[in-house]
């Protein structure tokens, strides 16, 4: 992931505002310390702070088409980019090895319909200047794994600001809102439109299908496997609990399988990560002698990962709170408390040269794993609560996982929130989850 910032239809001189835009984009450079890019087109500015994970040699952004009439800035990963490249009707010469470039070419062929075709976590903005009145399209991933905000100036309602974090907007905008997950914004209409329409979205619709364990296992395995896409060292976050242990075990197994298999250009997923770095590294954090550390040690030993255990003191945790709040951009007590160990661990992980980790967020919401779910009055009410919790992850665990890791330029990927896995897991009857 990276950091994006931009302004569309700026009310002043965009050329003069360029340096100010660079300064505002710099506020989120912790998200992308590897390179910075800026494109000014008319009265529009698109900025990018890059964390290089895929296409590290050629993937600098913003990306443009051949005649530079379309500009794209992306924060995220597109796991099905190889499949989408094959679906292009027009023979296309890609400029980069980035998984994100396919968005630009797909947009040229099918417009905003590209949003629903993407399998990944993403926030992106695309500027189309091929017509007299330029067009801005912004989109956010289905669940809100990545963070994205939109800002406006009440005196100039025609201008639209956007950023991965609030800190780039608060000095310029007097109206700021979170960009809704699963939507795209189109300047042609000035409206947000939902593109993510899964069968399980209606919380009052209670599924009746019995659990298919093979389908559940295969869909989660596929979710983990596709997330091994990387050209840099990566690992897994391991607390010793069921969620992270399951993700870690699948990741270890799939990485070994990919590494042992012959190289194939016909695979639909990008397998470079497991081929480049077949040995899995695992990471855990806690106070000295914490139960989680002990449990994680046992799991790591069983899985034969290269395990890294980090500890911190209560005082170190207290000392970090101000910085945690700065990066989270929330005072919510639960979020701050849960983010502090993750923030401290992310710094250690990044110092070890790792840029990407798999994490277990989302499973408790999908399967009703929190203690209070045991007191659900009925199976239908249990299901309704799981749906509502998944819908609101962008305000809690997704926000925490994204901002506390990206504070140090570390990307967290969450297989339990894979949209194809959710289509399976959220359609299991609640009686099988109770």
Name the pLDDT band for 59 (thresholds 50, 70, 90): confident
**Checking phi first, is residue 409 left (phi over 0); if not, alpha (psi -120 to 50) or beta?**
left
pLDDT at site 265 = 53
Give the integer Cα–Cα distance in Å for 384 and 376: 10
Residue 430 burial class via C-beta count within 10 angstroms: exposed 0-12, middle 13-18, buried 19 and up: buried
| Residue 401 in tokens | 């996982």
Question: For the segment 299-317, what is each residue's pLDDT rounded down to a tens digit?
Answer: 999 999 999 999 999 999 9
- Is the pTM of the predicted complex or chain greater than 0.85? yes
Query: Do you find a cis peptide bond into 62, omega within 30 degrees of 0?
Result: yes
Question: For the segment 270-305, what is each residue's pLDDT rounded down to a tens digit?
Answer: 766 666 666 899 999 999 999 999 999 999 999 999
- Asked if residues 112 and 136 have their Cβ atoms less than 8 Å apart, the reply is no
Give the integer Cα–Cα distance in Å for 376 and 238: 29
Residues 6+ positions from 248 with CB-CB distance below 8 Å: 236, 238, 280, 282, 299, 300, 303, 305, 358
Other C-beta atoms lying within 10 Å of the C-beta of residue 210:
10
Q: Which residues pair with 235 in a beta bridge?
A: 281, 357
The pLDDT of 58-79, averaged and rounded, is 95
Name the pLDDT band for 344 (thresholds 50, 70, 90): very high
| Residue 269 in tokens | 């997923």
- Asked if residues 200 and 388 have their Cβ atoms less than 8 Å apart, the reply is no
Set 2, 47, 100, 398: catalytic member? 2
Position 226 pLDDT exceeds 80: yes
User: Is 115 a catalytic site residue?
Assistant: no
pLDDT at site 43 = 97
In this structure, of 44-48, 57-61, 84-88, 376-380, the range with the lowest mean pLDDT score is 57-61
Give the integer Cα–Cα distance in Å for 124 and 337: 30
Give the integer Cα–Cα distance in Å for 14 and 321: 37
Position 222 pLDDT exceeds 80: yes
Residues 6+ positions from 84 with CB-CB distance below 8 Å: 78, 102, 106, 117, 118
Give the integer Cα–Cα distance in Å for 50 and 61: 7
pLDDT at site 264 = 56
Strand order in the sheet with 356-358: 306-311, 281-286, 234-237, 356-358, 411-413
Position 101 pLDDT exceeds 80: yes
The pLDDT of 251-272, averaged and rounded, is 76
| Residue 253 in tokens | 């197994």
- Asked if residues 398 and 361 have their Cβ atoms less than 8 Å apart, the reply is yes
């Amino acid at each position: 992931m990276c950091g994006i910032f931009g302004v569309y239809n700026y009310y002043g001189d965009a050329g003069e505002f360029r340096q100010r835009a660079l300064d505002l984009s710099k506020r989120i450079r912790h998200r992308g310390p590897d390179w910075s890019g800026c494109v000014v087109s008319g009265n529009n500015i698109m900025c990018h702070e890059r964390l290089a994970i895929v296409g590290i040699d050629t993937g600098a952004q913003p990306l443009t088409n051949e005649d530079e009439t379309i500009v794209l800035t992306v924060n995220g990963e597109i796991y099905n980019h190889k499949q989408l490249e094959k679906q292009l009707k027009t023979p296309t010469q890609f400029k980069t090895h980035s998984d994100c470039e396919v968005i630009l070419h797909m947009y040229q062929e099918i417009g905003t319909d590209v949003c629903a075709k993407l399998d990944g976590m993403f926030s992106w903005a695309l500027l189309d200047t091929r017509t007299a009145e330029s067009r801005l399209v912004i989109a956010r991933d289905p669940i809100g794994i990545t963070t994205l905000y939109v800002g406006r100036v009440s005196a100039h309602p025609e201008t639209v600001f956007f950023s991965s974090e609030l800190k780039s907007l608060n000095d310029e905008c007097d109206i700021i809102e979170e960009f809704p997950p699963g939507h795209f914004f189109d300047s042609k209409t000035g409206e947000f439109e939902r593109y993510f329409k899964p069968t399980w979205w209606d919380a009052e619709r209670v599924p009746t299908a019995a659990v298919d364990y093979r389908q559940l296992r295969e869909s989660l395995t596929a979710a983990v496997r596709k997330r091994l896409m990387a050209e840099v060292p990566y690992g897994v976050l391991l607390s010793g609990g069921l969620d992270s242990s399951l993700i870690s075990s699948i990741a270890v197994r799939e990485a070994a399988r990919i590494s042992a298999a012959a190289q194939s250009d016909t695979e639909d997923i990008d397998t470079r990560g497991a081929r480049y770095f077949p040995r899995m590294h695992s990471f855990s954090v806690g106070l000295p002698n914490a139960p989680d550390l002990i449990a994680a040690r046992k799991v790591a030993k069983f899985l034969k990962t290269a395990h890294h255990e980090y500890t911190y003191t209560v005082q170190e945790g207290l000392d970090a709170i101000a910085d945690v709040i700065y990066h989270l951009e929330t005072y919510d007590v639960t979020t701050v408390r849960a983010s502090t160990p993750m923030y401290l661990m992310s710094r250690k992980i990044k110092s070890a040269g790792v840029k990407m980790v798999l994490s277990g967020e989302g499973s408790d919401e999908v399967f009703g794993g929190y203690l209070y779910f045991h007191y659900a009055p009925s199976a239908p009410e249990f299901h309704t609560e799981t749906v509502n919790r998944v819908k609101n992850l962008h305000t809690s665990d997704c926000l925490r996982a994204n901002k506390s890791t990206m504070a140090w330029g570390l990307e967290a990927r969450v297989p339990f929130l894979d949209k194809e896995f959710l289509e399976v897991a959220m359609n299991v009857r609640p009686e099988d989850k109770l």
